[in-house]
Amino acid sequence: MFTRAMTGVRWLAVALLAGLVAACGTVPPASTGPDSSNRPPGSEAPTSPGAKPSDQEPPESDAPGGPVELNANVEDDADGVNVDTVIKATAKYGTLSTVTLEHGGTGSPKMDVPKVTGTLNGEKTTWTAGSGLDPAATYTLKITGANAAGEEKTETITFTTKAVAKSKQTFVNIYPKDGHRVGVGMPAVLTFDVPVKDKAAFEKQLKVTSVPAQEGSWNWFSDQEVHYRPKTYWKPGTKITVTANLNGINAGNGIYGQNSSSKTYSVGRSVITKVDLKAKQAVIEIDGKKAKTIPISAGKKGFITRSGAKVIMEKLDRTRMASETVGISENSSEGYNMMVKFAMRITQSGEFIHAAPWNAGNMGKVNASHGCTGMATDDAYWLFQRADVGSPVITTGSDRETEWGNGWTDWDVSWEKYQQGSAL
């Protein structure tokens, strides 16, 4: 009896003590299922029924030690890829080492750039082609990349582009040509054999680099001709590179750029001819200094020489001039057909500066030509030897203005107005 009584007292004391602790501490949560048992600290919850530790793989990691993943925006063996597709290659879990994109030729003479160049972004994770693609051509895209551990991987993708009819392609021609020396007023002149509707898309692919650098702007003279000139005349000695990455670029109306092209040329010394029709003389300035004054005879009544800022467009040692080319019958009293020396064209419509020995008695006295600016043979030769294609000829003294686009009239408007001719 005594033993049992003591056991009961102890049980009651323990029970009361437990109740006291429970009242002053945290109440344990209610049981919610199989995981509600009290587990020792640090123990893990059991897995779901039937699960094994090996079945529960961690998610795929982006750790740099993983293999590099190479991709492109064109699939291997793709056929009929649009020519205006700009190819891109990317690297995931690593960086790009080299990317090449080229075709083996299509038999067309305009395919003079089989390899398409491109640029890498700063992180070296994306390569973007610098132009579109040739039509009906098979291309090979080779991408090489590596992860942080230096483990390389290469992917090769081959695809074929869609054929485009020649009538749906426009060819760009750049003037001046490689290696030419030009005057300080020479604009870059780009012409297209098929009209361009989306001028902005094309202009974005045009670039002019000059050394030393000089501010400039594009100006669209028509759907088939765009020029570039600096804000002021080019500095003598400037090196100029004109690049047109137009191959495969969408020109609008279903037309695409047929080729990409680049030309590099240089600027000679400054030779500026100032023709005063009233004074009947031309003053030539070389590198900013007056070098020579030449008596001239320009257009007479009915054939008035145009005033305006012109540029020498071509130089011809000898050329035949016939009145019928400007609408005057050779058999009329004003008709002519003769060879002339040292001819420098300054308008598309047919104005030249040239030697005119038959008009020697009128030089400096009377304007007696059919619109050209004539001078003595020795004077014409002197100027011919010094002026370049692109040298400015500024004519004043008549009320007949040079029509916009009648020659390279880029300097006949203000800089502000010229910039308005840009499509961007």
- Residue 354 among the catalytic residues: yes
- Catalytic residue among 103, 180, 354, 370, which? 354
Cis peptide before 212 (omega within 30 of 0): yes
Do residues 225 and 203 make contact, with C-beta atoms less than 8 angstroms apart? no
Residue 79: its H or E element: strand 78-81
What is the rounded distance in angstroms from the CA atom of residue 293 to the CA atom of residue 363? 12
Do residues 364 and 275 make contact, with C-beta atoms less than 8 angstroms apart? no
Nearest-5° Cα angle at 389, 385 to 395: 90
By C-alpha distance, which of 270, 366, 182 is closest to 374?
366
Residue 419: its H or E element: helix 415-419
- Catalytic residue among 103, 180, 370, 372, which? 372
Do residues 143 and 124 make contact, with C-beta atoms less than 8 angstroms apart? no
By C-alpha distance, which of 251, 260, 248, 73 is closest to 162?
248
CA separation (Å) from 60 to 11, 47, 51, 66? 57, 21, 20, 10
- Residue 24 among the catalytic residues: no
Q: Which residues are catalytic?
A: 354, 372
